[in-house]
Amino acid sequence: MKLPDGTEIRTVRVSASEAGARLDLYLTRALAELSRTRIQALIEDQAVLVNDRPAKPSYRVRAGDRIEIELPPPPRLELRPEPIPLTIVYEDEDLLVVEKPAGMVVHPGAGVSEGTLANALCFYFQQLSAVGGALRPGIVHRLDRETSGLLVVAKNERAHDALSEQFSRREVQKFYRALVIGEVTPREGRITAPIGRHPVHRTMMTVRPPGQGRDALTLYRVIETIGDFSLLDVEIKTGRTHQIRVHFAALGRPVVGDTLYGAPRQVRVGRQTLPLLRRFFLHAARITFQHPCRDERICVRAPLPVELRQFLAQLAAACGVPTDSVDRAVADFL
């Protein structure tokens, strides 16, 4: 039988020391680049033969077993590769962490087919995990269009599965810098209000009564109070859509620049109008997670982008706050 172009055949022989293991677990170790989920799917599709016969995932391998694995070519990505500059903050053989700029959509969706992070990834990397679908190569989590900062991208299926599991178990630590309107009290706290779709404005999320939304947990500390604004260090324990924006808007403290949730288009301090900030003041500044393929804790940081640093300096000057004290406070919390 002629195999499809790009199909790869792997053959392994079971040693005496490996006898007795389940077939799926044995192959997970033997083919480290594939996830257990992927291997189980190959077995179910009869793309794995033990001594020329199909077998079940629970089959116990024996010394001398000859195992043949048919690996189909990866699905063709339905993306147009685009040479969009990428800022790569961390990279190894299993994953990379990129710093997404504000204004960039993470992957194609309604009305958006180009200029996304996914288009850029498709151009620079030939091999990325397709677990999330052809339009989301390697993408494990997301950021809003006007939020900048760190995103983790999986290069292979094993890394994608392990990272996704960490996100679902809430083991990934995600810290943001946010500037909100108004003084936040107490200076350190937690917000636990459930979040759900707005009943009227379907593009918005909103705080919902208990039992009518999904649980959401936001932890925060005030880094600096600048006039009638609060610069925050925020950790989200859940990953609800618009979580930080919704939680602080519900407190009457919307994120600067977030007109959808109540912030004015331009910031005024007394009679002075600051230059327009054409984005949210929200930045994914730090992420910590367990490496998906080895025993190592990864912590990656991204300082505030230049446009946010400039806006802070302008705000501090307008409010009579020394800029160097704000800079020190931001650095201390990174």
Residue type (1 letter), 250: A
Please say whether the beta carbons of 149 and 100 come within 8 A: yes
Catalytic option among 94, 144, 161, 233: 144
Residue 168 exposed, middle or buried by CB count within 10 Å (0-12, 13-18, 19+): exposed
The DSSP symbol for 101 reads P
Residue 22 exposed, middle or buried by CB count within 10 Å (0-12, 13-18, 19+): middle
Please list, in sequence order, all residues whose beta carbon lies within 8 angstroms of the beta carbon of residue 249, skipping any fewer than 6 positions away. Answer: 255, 258, 261, 262
Is residue 45 flagged as an active site residue? no
Q: Which of left, alpha, beta for 77 (phi over 0: left; psi -120 to 50: alpha)? A: beta
Q: Residue 34's closest CA among 74, 7, 61?
A: 74
Positions marked active-site: 144
